[in-house]
């Protein structure tokens, strides 16, 4: 089954720039940016980020305010600070054996960097990899990681899998089965997340936001600092 998957991947795999490098920093940036963000939005921002801070040591010494400004438009701004803190950790101590020691790096991201950058024999399991493994009941190797991600993104979809064009359909016990809809995050419009984003954009633009609750939440996460009545980006 894995041979069929890899043959399909050779012809249909996505050509993503971070797949052409073994630089753990570049791969970490791509993984953090891609969390809950469409790849089409990530591609130009990843390139711009690496043009500005091409090495982890350069990101480590950048002001947090610049990092937050550069992140604008990608959403979930705490990811920017976590990535900044991870860069500082690496610059000071090197890459840890257990990558979950890095700020903001969970099990999947740690395994992705370990597999794609360091060549460790670990399969990073995201929602796409898990779905295909469960549907096919097959244990795939780390060599199939990127192929699994692409198949899950384009063919083995969650709600309506495209079994008619799937290279694994002939041996898949779940062929033509439909999954229950997964719980989706609430709408952004009108949410507290939107209020936070609006307040942070105001600070980035040099204005003073009026939403005290949103400002307090941003300050708790370290995304802004409050000096008296003035709200500013962190140093």
Interval 17-65: pLDDT, tens: 999 999 999 999 999 999 988 999 999 999 999 999 999 999 999 999 9
Answer yes or no: do 27 and 105 share one domain: yes
Answer yes or no: do 206 and 222 share one domain: yes
Answer yes or no: do 38 and 84 share one domain: yes
- Asked which of 91, 116, 141 is the last residue of a domain, the reply is 116
Answer yes or no: do 58 and 103 share one domain: yes
- Neighbour-count burial of 222, counting CB atoms closer than 10 A to its CB (0-12 exposed, 13-18 middle, 19+ buried): middle
Answer yes or no: do 79 and 43 share one domain: yes
Average pLDDT over the chain reads 91
Is residue 229 annotated as part of the catalytic site, yes or no?
Answer: no
Answer yes or no: do 110 and 167 share one domain: no
pLDDT at 197 > cutoff 90? no
Number of Cβ within 10 Å of residue 212's Cβ equals 11
Total domains in the fold of the chain: 3
pLDDT at 94 > cutoff 60? yes
What's the confidence (pLDDT) of residue 169?
Answer: 95
Answer yes or no: do 176 and 200 share one domain: no
CB 220 within 8 A of CB 48: no
Answer yes or no: do 10 and 27 share one domain: no
Distance, CA of 85 to CA of 60 (rounded, Å): 7
Give counts: helices (H), strands (E), the chain.
11, 2
Answer yes or no: do 136 and 178 share one domain: yes
SS3 of residue 226 by DSSP? strand
Answer yes or no: do 112 and 159 share one domain: no
Residue 101 vs residues 34, 56, 85, 89, 114: alpha-carbon distances, Å: 20, 16, 11, 9, 13
Interval 144-166: pLDDT, tens: 999 999 999 999 998 889 999 99
Distance, CA of 12 to CA of 56 (rounded, Å): 32
CB 7 within 8 A of CB 167: yes
- Asked which of 86, 116, 146 is the last residue of a domain, the reply is 116
Answer yes or no: do 100 and 31 share one domain: yes
What's the confidence (pLDDT) of residue 156?
Answer: 95
CATH of the domain at 148: 1.10.1670.10
Structure tokens at 97: 């054996």
Q: Which of 2, 11, 31, 101 is catalytic?
A: 31
Q: Which domain holds residue 56?
A: 23-116
Distance, CA of 154 to CA of 9 (rounded, Å): 11
CATH of the domain at 81: 1.10.340.30
């Amino acid at each position: 089954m894995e041979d069929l998957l890899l043959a399909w991947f050779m012809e249909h795999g996505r050509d993503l720039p971070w797949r052409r490098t073994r630089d753990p920093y570049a791969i970490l940036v791509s993984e953090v940016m891609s969390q809950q963000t469409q790849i089409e939005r990530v591609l130009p921002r990843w390139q711009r980020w690496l043009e500005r801070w091409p090495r982890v040591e350069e990101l480590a010494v950048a002001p947090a305010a610049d990092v937050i400004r550069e992140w604008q438009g990608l959403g979930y701004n705490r990811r920017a600070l976590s990535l900044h803190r991870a860069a500082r950790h690496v610059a000071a101590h090197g890459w840890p054996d257990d990558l979950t020691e890095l700020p903001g790096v969970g099990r999947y991201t740690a395994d992705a960097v370990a597999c794609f950058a360091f060549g460790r024999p670990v399969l990073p399991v995201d929602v796409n990899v898990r779905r295909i493994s469960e549907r096919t009941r097959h244990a795939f190797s780390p060599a199939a990681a990127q192929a699994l991600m692409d198949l899950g993104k384009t063919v083995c979809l969650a709600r309506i899998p495209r079994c008619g064009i799937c290279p694994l359909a002939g041996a898949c016990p779940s062929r033509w089965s439909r999954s229950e809809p997964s719980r989706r995050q609430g709408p952004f419009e009108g949410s507290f997340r939107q209020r936070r984003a609006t307040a942070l954009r105001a600070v980035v633009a040099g204005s003073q936001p009026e939403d005290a609750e949103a400002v307090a939440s941003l300050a708790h996460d370290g995304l802004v600092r409050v000096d008296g009545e003035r709200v500013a980006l962190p140093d």
